[in-house]
Amino acid sequence: MQSYPALLSLLQELEIPEDEAMKALLSAFTPANPGVISSTWKLRVGYGVAPDGRALWDLYKKAGFKCTKCNSKHRVTIDHIDRNPKNVELSNLQVLCMDCNRASNSRGTKNNDIGVRIFKAFVSYKKEHGKNPTNAQIREITGIADFSSGYYLINYLRGLNGEDVELREYKKKANQSLETTTMAVTPAASHPSRQP
């Protein structure tokens, strides 16, 4: 069993109580409720059809409750392979994590680990030098040239550590949704989340 030192430092750094952390992890690592997916698809405009929850549950079981693309157990849901929501043949459905699901749409790419890399760089620099790193230093440690959505996380970490931060204005461009410009971790996916 791993001891998860980085995870522990995250909980300490953000001052997250253990039960709240467990609550968040359970919510993120419990696959979307197949019964809810089924009834949501049936009600959704443009969908209208869905296998029943039991059939979707069997898909989860067959996939080992993991994303069939990347093996992640994070925010697992069910996706239409041919992107046609009316084609609910079981052979057209696959178990995917939300990141792979989004990456397979035109809407997004899989870059969620940027936040983790930034966090680790920030904390390790602070431990070593007793002060917060500059953006240039974070860039150097992580090798990430463009933080894009990670800027807000950096500002949050600076704020927690007593720095005055100047937040960027997030302007919504004509055909760009806000989710690409903020650090938001909302599902915003084509499929229902686990909340009924």
SS3 78: strand
| One-letter identity of residue 154 | I
Tokens of 186: 């909302």
Q: Which stretch binds Zn ion (CB under 5 A): 18-26, 72-80, 83-91, 116-124?
A: 72-80
Distance CA 30, CA 75 (A): 7
Does 72 bind Zn ion (CB under 5 A)? Our answer is yes
154 binds Zn ion (CB under 5 A): no
Compute the least distance from the CB of residue 101 to Zn ion, in Å. Answer: 8
Q: Is residue 69 near Zn ion by the rule CB under 5 A?
A: yes
Number of residues that bind Zn ion (CB under 5 A): 6
CA dihedral (120, 155, 131, 137) in degrees, to 10, reads 60
Compose the 9-48 pattern: x for residues touching Zn ion by CB under 5 A, - for all others. ----------------------------------------
**Which tokens is 125 given?**
């620099």
Q: Does the footprint of Zn ion cover residue 97 (CB under 5 A)?
A: yes
**What distance in Å separates the CA atoms of residue 158 and residue 116, rounded to the nearest whole number?**
15
Task: Tell me how far the alpha carbon of residue 64 is from its chain's centroid.
Answer: 20
Listed ranges 4-12, 29-37, 100-108, 182-190: which one lies at the site for Zn ion (CB under 5 A): 100-108
**Segment interacting with Zn ion, rule: CB under 5 A, options 36-44, 55-63, 69-77, 115-123:** 69-77
Q: Is 70 in the site for Zn ion (CB under 5 A)?
A: yes
| The token pair that represents 165 in the structure block | 């931060």
Which secondary-structure segment (H or E) carries 55? Answer: helix 53-62
Q: Which of 88, 74, 106 is nearest to 187 (CA)?
A: 74
Residue type, position 6, single letter: A
CB of 97 to Zn ion, least distance (A): 3
- Nearest distance from C-beta of residue 185 to Zn ion, angstroms: 16
Residue selected from 37, 50, 59, 67 as contacting Zn ion according to rule CB under 5 A: 67
Residue 78 touching Zn ion (CB under 5 A):
no
Positions touching Zn ion (CB under 5 A) are 67, 69-70, 72, 97, 100
